[in-house]
Amino acid sequence: MKLTQTATQVHSPSSQLHQRWEAYVSDQYKLSALSLLAQLWLSHSLFLTDRVSTPSYLSMLLILAPASALYLWTLLLSRQVKKDTGILTALLPRMLGRGLEWLIALSLLTDAVFLLCGVSSLLGDILPTLRHYLIAPLIALFAASSLMRNQPFALIRLAGFLFFPLLAGITLSSASALQEGSAAHFFPLLGKGASSICMGTVWLCGNLGSICLPLLMPGEEAALRRMRQKGKRRGMLALLACMLFSALISAMYTYLLSPYALSDAASVGMRLLMPVQISSSIPGWSLYVCALILLLLIAYSGSVSRCAAFFSGHCTKEKHAPDWLIAIVILFTVPCAVFYSHRLQNLLIDLLPYRIIPYLISLLFTSAGAAFQWIKARKQA
């Protein structure tokens, strides 16, 4: 037996390439999954808690249907691409494809603004002595220093590395507060009514942009297809796990808090920290706060990085967005978080559901492009 030889031939250049692709695709999905979890969690605190009340977890479960449909649609389109470029530019005329990429980048910019407002509100409530206007620039500086100089790939790798520890940390820390909850808080089962649950689901659909991840992937070359498929399968599980996890988080809030506990006046940060207020476990809430901050920071940095990638048209592994573009995207996200107020929060609530529209428009155009190419190929055959 050769103890020094590994079971797989990792030293072979092709195996190394395959494994890297597999890990890259899987990590991209995990970053999307964490981003989705962070956005759903923020959405729960911003909108669902007071407008849907007790059955917010039902709204979270119901978005599984549109999310699955959206994912399958995107996946189907990605299989039509044979070139090593982004889907939009591969299936559509270049100018139109780039235009749609810009549209998606705007949606990602709104994601980043939303996440930055959430994380700065959270930090503002944790550190009341820190001047409010300093928090958002500090986070932006942190994101800039961690993303520039070819670091977006490090972020993707970090998301893959921290995926399970983060979920485990949130679960463990929340467990300490569960003894303070009550199953009676799940009643009345429909809360403010079935219409409010459906309204919550529709509102949450704005967060489903992360589901359209295959739009980020370059076209599939035959040699690497198998390895990418393996990465996709693992990534799909991560996406599903995070959507179910967000439903569990909603259920946890319902279990811990009575329907009347959250008022309109509470900030997003205060609402995120509600389980901490209830829990008597100091290690538990410390872990909860750390895990939550990490999750939001990774999601924010991921949104900034992807936004810059879509603006520059560099959505592939080999290329990355230029530093100056990342800096500009970050600068655009900061003012909203610095001047965050109740009025601005209401504006965000009105705006956020529309983030899904660029994706839907892109998918519609791309479907038309794919159908056109298929007809053209058939005619030629």
Partner 1 sequence: MKKMICLLLCMLLFTGCASHGTEEQMMVVLLGIDRTDDGSVKVIVKAPSFSGNSDPSSPSSGDGYLTLTASAHSFSAALTLLHATSPRNLNYSQTRQILLNQDVLRDDPNIIHTLGQISGMRSQTTLSICKDPAEDVMKAEKPVIGTRLSRYIDTTLETGIREGFIPDSTLIRVLTHQGGGYQDALIALTGLSLQDQQNQQQQQQAAPVFNQSTQHTAGNMPTVSGKAIQWMGSAALNGNLLTGYLSGFETMLCHFLTKNIGSMSFETPHGVLSCTPRYGPYLSLHHDGDAYTLCIRADLNVLPIYGASVDLAEADKSLTLVITQLLHTLQSLRSDALGFGRIAVRNYLTLDAWESSRWKEQYIRAQTDVDIRLTLVNE
CB 82 within 8 A of CB 218: no
Q: Which residue, 81 or 112, has its beta carbon nearer to partner 1?
A: 112
- Shortest spacing between CB 121 and partner 1, in angstroms: 15
- Shortest spacing between CB 105 and partner 1, in angstroms: 22
Q: Which residue, 146 or 362, has its beta carbon nearer to partner 1?
A: 146
The answer to whether residue 12 forms part of the interface with partner 1 (CB under 8 A) is no
In the chain, DSSP assigns E strands to: none
> Residue 113 has which token pair?
């603004």
Q: Which of 7, 189, 377, 381 binds partner 1 (CB under 8 A)?
A: 189
Please tell me the distance from the alpha carbon of residue 129 to that of residue 62, in angstroms, as a whole number.
40
Amino acid at residue number 178: L
Q: Which residue, 135 or 334, has its beta carbon nearer to partner 1?
A: 135
CB 294 within 8 A of CB 173: no
Q: Which residue, 93 or 188, has its beta carbon nearer to partner 1?
A: 188
> Residue 362 has which token pair?
């892109």
- Shortest spacing between CB 116 and partner 1, in angstroms: 15
Amino acid at residue number 191: G
3-state secondary structure of 171: helix
3-state secondary structure string across 314-370: CCCCCCCCCHHHHHHHHHHHHHHHHCCCHHHHHHHHHHHHHHHHHHHHHHHHHHHHH
Q: Which residue, 16 or 182, has its beta carbon nearer to partner 1?
A: 182
Please tell me the distance from the alpha carbon of residue 324 to that of residue 329, in angstroms, as a whole number.
9
The answer to whether residue 169 forms part of the interface with partner 1 (CB under 8 A) is no
Q: Which stretch binds partner 1 (CB under 8 A): 63-71, 91-99, 152-160, 307-315?
A: 152-160
The answer to whether residue 158 forms part of the interface with partner 1 (CB under 8 A) is yes
Q: Which residue, 106 or 266, has its beta carbon nearer to partner 1?
A: 266
Contact mark string toward partner 1, 255..294, x via CB under 8 A = --xxxxx---------------xx-x---------x--xx
Phi and psi of 161, rounded to 5°? Answer: -70, -40
Contact mark string toward partner 1, 50..69, x via CB under 8 A = ---xx---------------
- Shortest spacing between CB 311 and partner 1, in angstroms: 21
Q: Which of 126, 134, 172, 202 binds partner 1 (CB under 8 A)?
A: 126
Q: Which residue, 126 or 360, has its beta carbon nearer to partner 1?
A: 126
32: left (phi > 0), else alpha (psi -120 to 50), else beta? alpha
Q: Which residue, 299 or 348, has its beta carbon nearer to partner 1?
A: 299
323-338 vs 132-147: helix axis angle to the nearest 10? 160
CB 30 within 8 A of CB 238: yes
Q: Where does this chain bind partner 1 (CB under 8 A)?
A: 53-54, 126-130, 142, 145-146, 151, 154-155, 158, 180, 182, 184-185, 187-193, 257-261, 277-278, 280, 290, 293-294, 297, 301
